[in-house]
Amino acid sequence: MDKEIENIKKEIKCFHIKTYNDLETFRIKFLGKKKGIVTILFKELKKITICKRKIYGKIINDLKKEVQNKIKIFNSKNDIQKNEKVLKLDPTIPGKSIEIGSIHPLSIIRNRIIDIFIKIGFTYVDGPEIEDDWHNFTALNIPIFHPSRDMQDTFFLCKNPDILLRTHTSSVQIRYMKKHSPPFRVLSIGKVYRNETISSRSNFMFHQAEGFYIDQKVSFSDLKQTIHYLITSFFGEVKIRFRPSYFPFTEPSAEVDIYCNGEWLEIMGCGMIDPQVLENVNIDSEIYSGFAFGLGIERLALIIYQIKDIRIYFDNDIRFLRQFKSEF
Could you give the string, one character per residue 168-207, with x where binding to ligand PHE holds by CB under 6 A and - elsewhere? x-x-------------------------------------
By CB under 6 A, the count of residues binding ligand PHE is 11
What's the closest the beta carbon of residue 147 comes to ligand PHE, in angstroms? Answer: 15
Closest residue by Cα to residue 163 from 209, 132, 185, 121: 132
In the window 271-310, what residues touch ligand PHE (CB under 6 A)? 271, 292-294
Burial class of residue 209 (count of CB atoms within 10 Å of its CB; 0-12, 13-18, 19+):
buried
Report in angstroms how near the CB of residue 93 gets to ligand PHE at its nearest: 55
User: Measured between alpha carbons, how far is 311 from 163 in angstroms, rounded to an integer?
Assistant: 27
Residues between 10 and 49 with contacts to ligand PHE, criterion CB under 6 A: none
- Look at the chain and count its residues: 328
Cβ neighbour number for residue 105 with a 10 Å cutoff: 24
CB of 95 to ligand PHE, least distance (A): 49
Q: Which residue's CB is nearer to ligand PHE, number 67 or number 297?
A: 297
Name beta bridge partners: 131: 164
- Of 71 and 205, nearer to ligand PHE (C-beta) is 205
Between residues 190 and 271, which has the closer beta carbon with respect to ligand PHE? 271
- Name residues contacting ligand PHE, limited to 237-276 (CB under 6 A): 247, 250, 269-271
Output the smallest distance, CB 247 to ligand PHE, in A: 4
Residue 199: how many CB atoms within 10 A of its CB?
A: 10
Work out the widest C-alpha separation in the chain, in whole angstroms.
125
Report, in Å, the least distance between residue 306 CB and ligand PHE: 24
Nearer to ligand PHE, 112 or 194 (CB): 194
Q: Whole-angstrom Cα distance, residue 278 to residue 141?
A: 10
CA distances (Å), 7 to each of 69, 83, 235, in order? 18, 36, 99
In the complex, the smallest distance separating the C-beta of residue 262 from ligand PHE, rounded to whole angstroms, is 26
Helix axes 50-88, 20-31, angle to 10 degrees: 170
Applying CB under 6 A, the residues found at the interface with ligand PHE are 168, 170, 210, 247, 250, 269-271, 292-294
